């Protein structure tokens, strides 16, 4: 049973309309043509470019930057999309500071990388704004593939399979496609409905039929899909949220951060979204940062993120941590929740400091309390609803390097599958690679 968001301390309309609009505007303004040329001119077009190796989708970064520098951003976009069909979203949400830009030789030498992410956005936006879909389908193969989950991995797999000439039925448990991009990322990283526009643009390839509100295990059975289709790809994400395992967890005002972020992404009226005056976010990943920052932007007075380990162990990058503190979020490291205080509704959280001994995390016995009328749980997600018969390893569907599962004719990728970080860009790479393997299988090459 979900906890009520509407306790006395959690109210909507804390800010003026102008403040909401300003707070949730684009995090990074897009580059204009001149700025893009100047930024592209900083690239050394390295041979064996380290930026390209660091990109999970292996985009030819020096090539697309050179194409921008020579005034052909549309060609640059094609270079990006060839490897990453969701290159537009990845340009907005990729943690470039820990991927391509971290290893850029100009970062290493001068502490200022080429702005690869912003250049990628410039190129992909230029092409998409022209309403051009640069791919056509191969001759129809007569093969049918079911793709379950219309998040980054499923969309990437579906597009690649459609391009190869297969017919794709794309199923999603939600009413809308997009997965993490549509429901799980901070609003200021994807403004103006970009996630939905990107899905529409991707679907222009043709050959993909979207079936919304179809959940695996409820409306769909894997065995039936195996019978009805020539291959199945699962990109079902992680549907479960880890519990705090602290007394008081069921108090009103204790909410899953993923639900808060999804509500925020789907609302047309930010002023209608309730937020606490004193907010505590428990966790250290991107979801925790997105929930904390957006609480502050919605008008919470005090927002504190509490993470059980040290700064370096946080899965949110240093850049994201700095973004959070720049927006007024306080981050406390090395502390774990002991109890959510309050009778019925949350009034605070008691934490205990932690220390690591021989790799094991232990409480020190020293406790402190933070007042909170709203508490967000962001301590990770777990796989739920994995179909029977699939081999599971470490809580995820076990897959080969190309995404093949333990069941013949079934592939998986993205957050639900083993391997890779739980990032949009990783999901795109895994969906693409699984689609190539499925194609090979269907055409008799595997
Ligand atoms: Fe350009 Fe930096 Fe990549 Fe070298 S490492 S190709 S300078 S973006």
Query: Residue written as tokens 């390097």?
Result: 401
Ligand 1 in reach of 6 Cβ (< 6 A): no
Q: Residue with structure tokens 């909410």?
A: 255
Q: How confident is the model at residue 387 (pLDDT cuts 50, 70, 90)?
A: confident
Using the mean position of ligand 1's atoms as its centre, give its distance from the Cα of residue 128 in Å.
25
Lookup: tokens for 186: 């901070």
3-state class of 398 per DSSP?
Answer: coil
Output the CA 74–ligand 1 centroid distance in Å: 20
pLDDT digits over 249-277, tens only?
Answer: 999 999 999 999 999 999 989 999 999 99
CB 294 within 8 A of CB 303: no
Query: From ligand 1's centre to the CA of 13, what distance in Å?
Result: 45
Mean pLDDT across the stretch 108-126?
96
For residue 97, report the distance from its CA to the centre of ligand 1, in Å.
13
Is there a contact between 281 and 302 (Cβ–Cβ < 8 Å)?
Answer: no
Residues above pLDDT 70, as percent of the chain: 98
What DSSP character marks residue 125?
H
- Residue 5 has a pLDDT of 52
In whole angstroms, give the CA distance from residue 342 to residue 374.
11
Q: Which of 136-150, 167-181, 376-390 has the lowest mean pLDDT?
A: 376-390
* Lowest-pLDDT choice from 78-82, 135-139, 354-358, 382-386: 382-386
Contact call for residues 137 and 165 (beta carbons, < 8 A): yes
Instruction: State the pLDDT at residue 378.
Output: 95
Which of the 8 DSSP states describes residue 408? T
CA-closest residue to ligand 1 atom 2: 104
From 53, 62, 108, mutation site for ligand 1 pocket: most ligand atoms within 8 A of C-beta = 62
- Cα torsion at 97, 99, 104, 110 (round to 10°)? 30
Residue 6 — pLDDT band, cuts 50, 70, 90?
low
Pocket test of ligand 1: the residue of 42, 45, 69, 120 to mutate, having most ligand atoms within 8 Å of its CB, is 45
By DSSP bridging, strand 302-306 and strand 278-282 are parallel
Q: How far is the CA of 100 from the centre of ligand 1 (A)?
A: 8
- Residue 221 structure tokens: 């059975």
Query: How is 21-63 classified by DSSP, letter by letter?
Result: HHHTS-SSPPP-HHHHHHHHTT----TT-HHHHHSTT---HHH
Q: What share of the chain is helix, strand, coil (3-state, %, to 5)?
A: 40, 20, 45
Tell me the C-alpha to C-alpha distance, in Å, between residue 398 and each of 80, 321, 446.
29, 32, 19
* Closest atom of ligand 1 to CA, residue 42: 7
Atom of ligand 1 nearest to the CA of 113: 2
Please give the number of the atom of ligand 1 that sits closest to the Cα of 45.
6
pLDDT for res 357: 87
C-alpha to C-alpha distance for 109 and 51, rounded to whole angstroms: 14
Q: Within a 13 Å sphere around the CA of 406, how many CA atoms are in the beta-carbon half?
A: 13
Of 362, 434, 422, 425, the residue nearest 394 (C-alpha): 422
Sketch out the chain's domains with CATH numbers: 33-128 (1.10.1060.10), 144-239+383-442 (3.50.50.60), 241-377 (3.50.50.60)
Residue-wise pLDDT tens digits, 287-313: 999 999 999 999 999 999 999 999 999
Residue 63 Cα to ligand 1 midpoint, Å, equals: 10
Verify whether ligand 1 is closer than 6 Å to residue 106 (CB atom). yes
Q: How far is the CA of 98 from the centre of ligand 1 (A)?
A: 14
Which residues, at least 6 apart from 89, have a Cβ–Cβ distance to it below 8 Å?
Answer: 152, 181, 190, 194, 195, 198, 424
Tell me the percentage of the chain whose pLDDT exceeds 90. Answer: 85
Dist. CA 348–CA 371, nearest whole Å: 4
pLDDT for 2 equals 41
- H or E segment to which residue 154 belongs: helix 152-163
Question: What atom in ligand 1 is closest to the CA of residue 52?
Answer: 3
Q: Using a cut of 0.85, tell me whether the model's pTM lies above it.
A: yes
Return d(Cα 117, Cα 223) in angstroms, integer: 41
The answer to whether 309 and 284 are in contact (CB under 8 A) is yes
Which pLDDT score is estimated for 444?
Answer: 87
Q: How far apart are CA 216 and CA 171, in angstroms?
A: 9
Is the Cβ atom of 368 under 6 angstroms away from ligand 1?
no
Q: Is residue 446 predicted with pLDDT exceeding 80?
A: no
List the residue whose alpha carbon is closest to atom 4 of ligand 1.
46
Which has more pLDDT, 138 or 319? 138
The residue whose CA is least distant from atom 5 of ligand 1 is 104
Q: Which of 417, 416, 412 is nearest to 435 (CA)?
A: 412
Residue 214 structure tokens: 């179809």
Per-residue pLDDT at 53: 96
| 1 confidence band (pLDDT: 50, 70, 90) | very low
Interstrand relation of 348-357 and 335-341 (parallel, antiparallel or unpaired)? antiparallel
- Is there an atom of ligand 1 within 6 Å of 63 CB? no
117 lines ligand 1 (CB under 6 A): no
Per-residue pLDDT, 445: 54
Q: Which of 125-139, 208-222, 288-302, 411-425 has the lowest mean pLDDT?
A: 411-425
How far is the centre of ligand 1, averaged over its atoms, from the C-alpha of 72 (Å)? 18
Band the pLDDT of 3: cuts 50, 70, 90: very low
Neighbours of 114 (CB within 10 A): 24
Q: Residue 149 in 3-state DSSP?
A: coil
């Amino acid at each position: 049973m979900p906890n009520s968001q509407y306790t006395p301390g959690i109210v909507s309309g804390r800010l003026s309309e102008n403040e909401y609009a300003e707070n949730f505007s684009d995090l990074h303004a897009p580059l204009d043509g001149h700025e893009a040329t100047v930024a592209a001119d900083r690239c050394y077009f390295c041979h064996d470019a380290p930026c390209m190796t660091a990109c999970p989708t292996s985009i030819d970064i020096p090539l697309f930057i050179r194409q921008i520098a020579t005034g052909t951003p549309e060609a640059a976009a094609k270079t990006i999309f060839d490897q990453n069909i969701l290159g537009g979203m990845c340009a907005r949400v990729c943690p470039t500071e820990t991927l391509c830009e971290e290893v850029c030789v100009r970062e290493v030498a001068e502490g200022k990388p080429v702005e690869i992410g912003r250049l990628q956005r410039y190129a992909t936006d230029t092409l998409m704004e022209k309403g051009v879909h640069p791919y056509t389908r191969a001759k129809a193969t007569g093969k049918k593939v079911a793709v379950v989950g219309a998040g980054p991995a499923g969309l990437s797999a579906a597009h690649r399979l459609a391009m190869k000439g297969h017919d794709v039925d794309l199923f999603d448990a939600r009413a809308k496609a997009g997965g993490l991009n549509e429901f799980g990322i901070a609003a200021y990283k994807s403004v103006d409905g970009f996630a939905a526009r990107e899905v529409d643009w991707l679907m222009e390839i043709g050959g993909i039929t979207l079936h919304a509100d179809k959940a695996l295990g409820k409306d769909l059975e894997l065995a039936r899909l195996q019978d009805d289709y020539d291959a199945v790809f699962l990109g079902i994400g992680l549907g479960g949220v880890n519990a705090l395992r602290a007394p008081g967890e069921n108090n009103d005002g204790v909410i899953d951060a993923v639900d808060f972020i999804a509500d925020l992404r789907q609302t047309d009226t930010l002023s209608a979204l309730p937020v606490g005056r004193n907010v505590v976010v428990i966790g250290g990943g991107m979801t925790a940062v997105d929930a904390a920052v957006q609480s502050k932007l919605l008008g919470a007075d005090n927002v504190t993120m509490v993470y059980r380990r040290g700064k370096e162990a946080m899965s949110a990058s240093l850049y994201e941590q700095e973004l959070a503190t720049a927006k007024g979020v306080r981050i406390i490291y090395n502390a774990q929740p002991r109890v959510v205080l309050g009778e019925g509704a949350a009034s605070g959280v008691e934490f205990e400091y932690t220390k690591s001994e021989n790799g094991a995390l232990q409480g020190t016995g020293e406790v402190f309390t933070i007042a909170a009328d709203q508490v967000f749980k962001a301590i990770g997600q777990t796989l739920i609803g994995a179909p029977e018969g699939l081999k599971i390893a470490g809580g995820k569907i076990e897959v080969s390097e190309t995404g093949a599962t333990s069941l013949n004719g079934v592939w998986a990728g993205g957050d639900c599958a083993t391997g890779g970080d739980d990032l949009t860009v990783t999901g795109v790479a895994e969906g693409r690679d699984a689609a190539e393997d499925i194609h090979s299988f269907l055409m008799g090459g595997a």
